[in-house]
Amino acid sequence: MRVSNVALLWDLENVNPGSDSLFLEGLTEFAEGKGRIVTARAYGNWTNATFSKLAPSLTRRYFYLVHIPKGRKNSSDMVLVSDTLEILRIHDHIDTFILVTGDSDFRFLVLALRRAGKMVHIVCNTQNASEDLLALADSYVDYRELVPGGNDEEGSEKLPQAPEDKTRETKGAAQPMNIEDWFQVLAEAADLMLKKKISPGIGSVKIRMKMLNPNFNEKKLSFPRWSDFVAAAVKAGFVTIEGKGPESLVYPVVRVLKREGPLQQALQILVDVLAELDKGGQASYHSYRNVNSKLIEKKVYFNGLGFNQFKGFIQAAESRGLVQSKVEGLKHSVRRLVNQDLDRP
C-alpha cells in the first residue's frame, strides 16, 4: 500500500494553542496518520515569548522556522502561500498538505492545491475560522480535538454516561437531542453567521453547524443528504430559504432562537456549575473531571447531547462565547466568561 507524503505548514499567528499544551504532539500524530511527513514549516514572529518557547520543540521535530517580523501579518500569509506553491511546483511527490490555519486568505491556495490533485486537510481554531475555507478542504478539525487528554476518562474511574432511556420526563435534567433539537442548532448556526456579517450560504452553514457540534451527521439522523436535512428544517418551521441552488441562503426563524432545547439547557447548567464551583468568587479555572462530575449530578450527559467527548461539549460552549478553556500538559480546565471578559477585544 502506497504511503502519502505530507507537507505540514503552520501559521502560528492564526492558530496559537500556547506553549504549555501538548498540541504539537497531537498535531504530529495527526499528520503521521495521513502519511509520511517530508517537510514541516512554522511561520511566526520568533521574538514572541510564547512562540520562542515552542521553537526548541519544533526544531527537534525537524520544523523549519520561518520568521515573520511583528506587524506584518499579511506578509506571513504571502510567505506561506509562496512557500506552498514552491513545494507544489518542485516536489511533485508530496500529495497531501496539512495547513494549520483558518484564515480565509488561504482559499485560493487550497483551490490551487486541489486543482493539482492534492489532498488538503486543515487544522484550525473554529472560533475564528472561515467557513468558506473549511468547505474547500478535504477535511478539517479544531486544534483542541488534537490536544491529548480532556476526555471523560481523565482520572482513575470511568464516569457514567447518558442512560438509554430517551424520555423527557426528568425535571431539571438536560435530555437527549431529538430531530427538532438539531434543527434548532441549524437555526443557531445561521444566526451566528448573520451576527458576524457572514452570508449563511447553504453549504457554509453546515460548516458552522459542525463547528457548534463536530459530531453532527445528517445521515445518522436518517437524512441521505444535507439538503434533505435543511428541507426538513424548513418544513418544521425552524429556518427559511432564500434563493435557489448552491447560492441559497439559510435564515433562522426568530421565535425558534428563543426556544430552550436540551443543548441550550445543558450549556446554561454548565455556566451555573462553574459559578457554583467559584463559590461566589471571581471566575476561576476548574478541571474537566470536576466539572463533568457536577454535571452528571445534575443529570447532564454530554454523550446524550451528541458529543463523543466531554471536551467537545466544552468546545461547543466556548464557540458560543460562554466559557474559556485552558490546557497545561494533560490537564484541561475551563472557566465561565463574565461580562468584562466578553467586552475585551
Blockwise average pLDDT, block size 10, the chain, 345 residues = 91 86 91 95 90 90 89 75 94 95 94 96 91 93 86 45 45 66 93 91 91 87 94 95 87 86 90 94 94 93 86 89 88 84 45
The whole-angstrom separation of Cα 22 and Cα 24 is 5
User: Which pLDDT score, from 0 to 100, does residue 71 have?
Assistant: 65
For residue 205, give the amino acid letter: V
* The three three-digit cell numbers of residue 68, written as one number: 515573520
In 3D space, the residue among 29, 34, 146 whose CA is nearest the CA of residue 94 turns out to be: 34
User: Which pLDDT score, from 0 to 100, does residue 152 have?
Assistant: 47
The whole-angstrom separation of Cα 43 and Cα 100 is 10
Strand residue runs (E) in 125-248: 139-142, 239-242
For residue 156, give the amino acid letter: S
The whole-angstrom separation of Cα 302 and Cα 215 is 12
The whole-angstrom separation of Cα 317 and Cα 314 is 5
For residue 113, the SS3 value is helix
For residue 133, the SS3 value is helix
The whole-angstrom separation of Cα 120 and Cα 134 is 10
For the chain, the structural domain boundaries read 5-146, 156-345
User: Which pLDDT score, from 0 to 100, does residue 329 have?
Assistant: 81
Q: How many CB atoms lie within 10 A of CB 86?
A: 10
Q: 5-146 has which fold?
A: Rossmann fold (3.40.50)
User: Which pLDDT score, from 0 to 100, does residue 321 have?
Assistant: 87
109-130 burial, b at 16+ Cβ within 10 Å, e below that, comes to: bbebbeeeebbbbbbbbbeebb
CB-facing half-sphere around the CA of 166: CA atoms within 13 A: 3
Burial of 308 per CB tally in 10 Å (0-12, 13-18, 19+): middle
